[in-house]
Structure formats: structure tokens, C-alpha cells
Amino acid sequence: MTLRRRWMSALPLAAAAAGLGRARAADAPTGKPAGERFPGDPPQHKLVYQLNRAEPEYMEAILNSVGAMIGKYQDNVAIAVVVFGPGIHLLAKQPKRPVPPALRQRVVSQARDYGVSYVACGNTMQTLGWTAKDIVEVAKVEQVGAAALMELQEQGYAYLAW
């Protein structure tokens, strides 16, 4: 048997041994049952959506997905929606493109009732001549929406684009 073949055949054993060590560490007593969270613990799941189109069906699909994630994980998920480009009209108090008022109401409800973070791109707003006063109060303005996406991913948020 060549040295390479011996090394390749040893890989599964090494991986299994490493996994066993991690499993034992995970079984160490923490004072709570496995999978249970104490109040105030950070959520186990983090997800950031990119919303950058103005079609109401597209916006609704993302809001439906946000709702499904809340339904599945309840308070065990942190969700952010970064909104830029034509999608910014979803966050506008007076959108320049048609956005059903029910969708803006869902944004406010998801932010207020479930802690969903809506981030508006300041560059997009500047292009339209908008300020923070022109968007719904629950949205946070970040100067560069793409940078907000990147920074959230660096913080462990899974990235989801439609």
C-alpha cells in the first residue's frame, strides 16, 4: 500500500475520533437540558435576507419566509432584512412605486412583535432624496446596505437572497 493510500484510509478514523471528542465536550454539564435555552440566551439561529426588488409578489414571498422562520423557531432565531435598490419602497412611508399597505404593516408588525431587524440602505435613500423621516420608524438606516449584509454574515448570520 502506498503512503498516500495509507494516509487516505486513516482519514475516516481521524475524523471519527475528532467528532467523538466534540460530542463528549457537547455532553458536558451546562445546567440545562440539551437544546434548551434560558431566557436571555442568544438565539441559536441567525438569518439575513436581501430584499432588493420592488414587485409586491417578491416582497410578500420574503415576508412570508420571515413569518415561517418565526413560526418554526419562535424566539430562537434572529432575523434581519437588508433592503436596498428598488426594494427600499417597502420601507417608505410614501413609496414612489406601488407597495400594498398590508406589506408595510407586516414589516412594522414583524419588527415590533418579533424583533425582526429591517435595515434600509442609506445610499439608496440618498439617491431618492430620502431621509430617515421618509421610512417606517422600525427600520434602521445603514449607509451601505451591501456592507450591512457583509457585516451580518461576519457575525454568523446565514445569507438568503431571492
Structural domain spans, the chain: 44-161
Average pLDDT over residues 127-145: 96
pLDDT score of 108: 96
Cβ neighbours of residue 58 under 8 Å, at least 6 residues apart? 51, 87, 162
In the structure grid, which three cell numbers stand for residue 47, read together?
A: 438569518
Q: Is the pLDDT of residue 70 over 90?
A: yes
With cut-offs at 50, 70 and 90, classify the pLDDT of residue 33.
low
More confident residue, 150 or 37: 150
Average pLDDT over residues 95-103: 89
Domain 44-161, classified CATH 3.40.1260.10, yes or no: yes
In the structure grid, which three cell numbers stand for residue 158, read together?
A: 446565514
Yes or no: say if 38 and 31 are a contact pair by the CB < 8 Å rule.
no
What is the C-alpha separation between 146 and 123, in angstroms, rounded? 10
Quickly list H helices, the chain.
3-26, 56-73, 101-114, 122-128, 145-154
